[in-house]
Amino acid sequence: MTLRLAIVLPTLDERENIAPLLARIEQALGPQGWEAIVVDDASADGTADEARRIARADPRVRVIERIGRRGLSSAAIEGICATAAPFVAVMDADHQHDPAILPEMLAALETGECDVAVASRYVAGASNAGLASARRERGSRLAVRLARRLAGVDLSDPMSGYFAIRAEIGRTLAPRMSQIGFKVLLDLLASAPEPLRVREFPLQFAQRRSGASKLDRAVVFDFLVGLYDKTFGRVVPTRFALFGTVGGLGVVVHLAVLALLFRAGDVAFVPAQALATFAAMTFNFWLNNWLTYRDRRLRGGRALLRGWAGFCAACSVGAVANVAVAGLLKGYGLYWLLAAAAGILVGAVWNYALSSRFVWKRR
């Protein structure tokens, strides 16, 4: 039977969920005409190994194991670009998304009724009971309202992680997408030069079957980053804007530690300044690792120590560049405040370039 549909399953620590989900997909779609692509972000629980074990006996299952990069949006795009199927669906592997509605979604795409079929938690007949708390549901609804404005589509659930699309559209839009971790459907809709035709299908959003939720504060931050990227990202690159924002917070940390040691702790200025500098560098490294480079986050004591040392070294070089440029421009008669600002900008760009390349291994 001809391959009609690929189901992309971005995974992180979903080992126990893979086999039961594939059984549910087969029950919904039948034994032929589909494939499942497990895109795993180097799960610690052996999710990729479990998917490979299944794939050895089931040619409908394929595995992409990603090393050194993370994020649901980029994982989904890699899966979309990896299939030869004309249509592709993206869904979570935790059983909160019901495969039973896949045939209806696929039929709407095949008949040309829509460009994107979305499983919605908020249309008539749907349920959002699987959200873990009322707080998460309120947060989800707020994100939906913001996302509607960004996407420019009258859609009840633009934050849905469960949708199907013509694969050719996904591949065409992939180079335009930010792929910075926030919801891939919103990224797709906001990246389209012309509004896509969307039809929604009621989803009974279920409880997670096994494992822990991946939602944390950084995921919420990813959503805000996605909004920024689609609004201002072409003016100031999003990752550089994050790096600069973290640097600004680091200045506050530096001044606070300096005041605590020098003014309140009676420590001499030079050692107080040195300690404040290292405190700010450490803070900047931690926050950049957690947020700015979340998709390449360093983990484990040895990796963190090595990354911190590299970050401090990069920032030291940037500090020298900062002082040199500011001093040179001041010597040429530029107003001192403008010279200082130019030095700070050069230092920030230098720090960003070096730390991206040598600490988080991003070109």
Tens of pLDDT along 248-265?
888 888 888 888 887 777
Contact 298, 307 (CB under 8 A): yes
Say if residue 143 is in the same domain as residue 214: yes
CB atoms within 10 A of CB 22: 22
| Residue 363 in domain | no
Say if residue 177 is in the same domain as residue 40: yes
Reported as a single tens digit per residue, the pLDDT across 172-182 is 999 888 766 55
Q: Which two tokens stand for residue 6?
A: 């690929």
DSSP state of 289: I
Say if residue 219 is in the same domain as residue 243: no
Say if residue 244 is in the same domain as residue 110: no
| Residue 300 in domain | yes
- Residue where a domain stops, chosen among 215, 232, 249: 232
| Residue 23 in domain | yes
Q: What are phi and psi of 102, to 5 degrees?
A: -60, -45
Say if residue 213 is in the same domain as residue 277: no
CB atoms within 10 A of CB 130: 18
Residue with the bigger pLDDT between 327 and 107: it is 107
Could you give the C-alpha distances from 6 to 23, 61, 244, 295, 338, in angstroms and in order?
A: 15, 10, 40, 25, 56
Coil, helix or strand for 144?
helix
Find where tokens 């649901």 sit: 72
For residue 117, count CB atoms less than 10 angstroms from its CB and return exposed for 0-12, middle for 13-18, buried for 19 or more: buried
pLDDT at 216: 46
Say if residue 262 is in the same domain as residue 225: no
Mean predicted lDDT score pLDDT of the chain: 83
- Residue where a domain stops, chosen among 232, 258, 281: 232
Say if residue 156 is in the same domain as residue 254: no
Say if residue 210 is in the same domain as residue 317: no
pLDDT at 231 exceeding the cut of 90? no
CB atoms within 10 A of CB 282: 15
The beta strands (E) that lie in the chain are given as 5-11, 34-40, 61-65, 87-90, 116-120, 163-166, 198-202
Sheet holding 61-65, edge to edge: 61-65, 34-40, 5-11, 87-90, 163-166, 116-120, 198-202
Is the backbone of residue 182 left (phi > 0), alpha (psi -120 to 50) or beta?
Answer: beta
Reported as a single tens digit per residue, the pLDDT across 17-47 is 999 999 999 999 999 999 999 999 888 889 9
Contact 17, 52 (CB under 8 A): no
Judge if pTM exceeds 0.75: no
| Residue 339 in domain | yes
Q: Which two tokens stand for residue 39?
A: 């895109």
Task: Tell me what percent of the residues of the chain surpass a pLDDT of 70.
Answer: 83
Distance of alpha carbon 265 from alpha carbon 340, whole angstroms: 29
| Residue 311 in domain | yes
Band (135; pLDDT cuts 50, 70, 90): low
Domain span at residue 64 reads: 5-232
- Residue where a domain stops, chosen among 193, 213, 232: 232
| Residue 181 in domain | yes
pLDDT at 199 exceeding the cut of 80? yes
